[in-house]
Amino acid sequence: MNSVLRYTGIFVVLVLLQLLVFNNIQFSGYINPYVYVLLIIILPLSMPSWVVLIIAFLAGFIIDAFSGTMGVHTFASVMAGFVRPWIISLNMTHEAADPDISPSVQNNGLRWFFLFAIMIVLVHHLALFYVEVFSFSGFFRTFLRVIVSTLFTTFFILLLDMIGWRR
Amino acid sequence: MRSLLNFLLRHKTLILFLFMEGLALFMLSSSHNYHQTVVSNSARSISGRLTEKVERGRSYFRLKDVNEGLARENLLLRQRLEILQIDTVTPFIAFSDTVRKLNYSFLDARVVNNSVSRQKNFITIDKGRDDGVVNGMGVACSEGILGIVVGVSRNYSVAMSLLNLDFRLSASIAHNDYFGSLTWDGRNYRNAQLSEIPHHVTVTPGDTIVTSGYSAIFPPGLMIGTLTGDKKKGGDFVTLKVELSPDFKKLTHVFIIGSLNKQEIRSLEEEVVNE
């Protein structure tokens, strides 16, 4: 029960952080970090996948509703939530020993957490940017945006995790 | 029945996934008239209030630029006033815009939310239905035009930014009046494209691009930007690259432009087409 309450707090803080701070950060007019993906990353590895999907949907929907991009973030978040089990099984090494704790640098080591986070962010951003443009024309330009934004978002996610903002 | 239930239970994640993605795509596809949906309207009034607070803080850092812009505009207006005063002395000058024949009305507003990094950007403004804003009005700042109002709530309205893949406006080259279609290709937020210009038109870098006034959204002759000199040939027409004169990244004060004759022009045009 305690962890549910704590996660709700994290949820609110991250959504506010995304809407008020990170939506205002733009590097060279193209890159906008979407740190709220961290909400999907830090769910315990043992969590049933349908619960992950619902949380991802809620997160995407709230971001969508408040930034006026109906459907785009919802689509990307649900996609990221859906592929999460496969990414977990891809990364199933001894570092992921305890499936009941929430993934972080401290719990799983920098290497493991970095790989896990960047894979989920990449899936999220792939869905996000291609759905936003809604066409494959200019495929490589969109792809470049995906790659650069993925790096930036992952950087900020690692930074947030390392400064121990959850405590 | 039982096996069906079992099937559904076994694949609940996949079914949930497909259902949610379907829902997301549905929201996306109906987003062209999403301004009417209740959810986003109420969310907008909350986020409008919230971002207004943030924007109020951020606007302090832009005061210097705003001041400079206002001073420049003052200078321009003063110069124009000078010209007008000279003109009134000479005979045979008829002013079409007398008090009774005004064509456009203006309303000042502040930007509470704005983006340049997306492919479909929108600008949120702190004037809404209660201030007389309706869909289809133009939004501009002293440097040039910015977008067109596409959604209105009680106290706020949302304008489709010029930096939106769906944006389209008739624009003309100031010195020879050839007109074309102005769009944005989603790349650089400083540049837009003017297409459908015939081959034989001679242009030089730095030529001014202004509104044509054909769509009765903006008055003719409002600044849009200048030509960079880059051109792309295709078919019978060339596409020219336009450097936009307003900087979309630092918008604070804008004005909304309402055409008083739009209704009349539209109904006349429809009448003719229908005959």
Select from B142, B169, B139, B141 the least CA-distant residue to B151.
Answer: B139
Q: Chain A: residue nearest B47 by CA?
A: A66
- pTM more than 0.90: no
Residue A155 lies in a domain: yes
Q: What is the pLDDT of residue B5?
A: 83
Residue B244 lies in a domain: yes
Q: What is the pLDDT of residue B42?
A: 63
Residue B162 lies in a domain: yes
Residue B143 lies in a domain: yes
B116 closest CB neighbour out of A26, A53, A68: A26
**pLDDT band for position B94 (cuts 50, 70, 90):** very low
Residue B267 lies in a domain: no
- Give the pLDDT confidence of B116-140 residue by residue, as tens digits: 888 889 999 988 888 888 888 899 9
First to last CA, chain B: 61
Q: Chain B: residue nearest A33 by CA?
A: B117
Domain that holds residue B192: 35-260
**Selected residue of A28, A69, A136, A152 to mutate for chain B interface (largest B Cβ count, 10 A):** A69
For chain A, what is the domain count?
1
Residues constituting chain A: 167
Residue A167 lies in a domain: no
Domain that holds residue A57: 2-162
- Give the pLDDT confidence of B167-194 residue by residue, as tens digits: 989 999 988 889 999 999 888 889 999 9
Residue B30 lies in a domain: no
CATH number at residue B48: 2.40.10.340
- Sign (positive/negative) of CA torsion B79, B85, B86, B88? positive
Residue B144 lies in a domain: yes
Averaged confidence pLDDT in chain B: 81
Residue B121 lies in a domain: yes
Instruction: Determine whether the interchain pair A54/B116 forms a contact, defined as Cβ–Cβ distance below 8 Å.
Output: no
Q: How many angstroms separate the Cα of A84 from the Cα of each of A80, A125, A161?
A: 6, 14, 19
If you count DSSP H runs as helices and E runs as strands, how many of each does chain A have, helices first?
A: 7, 0
Q: What is the pLDDT of residue B10?
A: 80
For chain B, what is the domain count?
1
CATH number at residue A135: 1.10.1760
- Give the pLDDT confidence of A67-96 residue by residue, as tens digits: 777 788 999 999 999 999 888 888 777 666
The ipTM, to two decimals, is: 0.78
Residue A68 lies in a domain: yes
Q: Which helix (H) or strand (E) holds A60?
A: helix A49-67
First to last CA, chain A: 17
Q: Burial letters for A47-85: b for 16+ Cβ neighbours within 10 Å, e otherwise?
A: eebeebbebbbebbbbbbbbbbbbbbbbbbbbbbbbbbe
- For chain B, say whether A69 makes contact (Cβ under 8 Å): yes
- Give the pLDDT confidence of B37-79 residue by residue, as tens digits: 555 566 666 767 777 777 777 777 778 888 888 878 887 887 7
- Give the pLDDT confidence of A89-122 residue by residue, as tens digits: 887 776 666 777 788 787 788 888 899 999 999 9
Residue A145 lies in a domain: yes
Residue A89 lies in a domain: yes
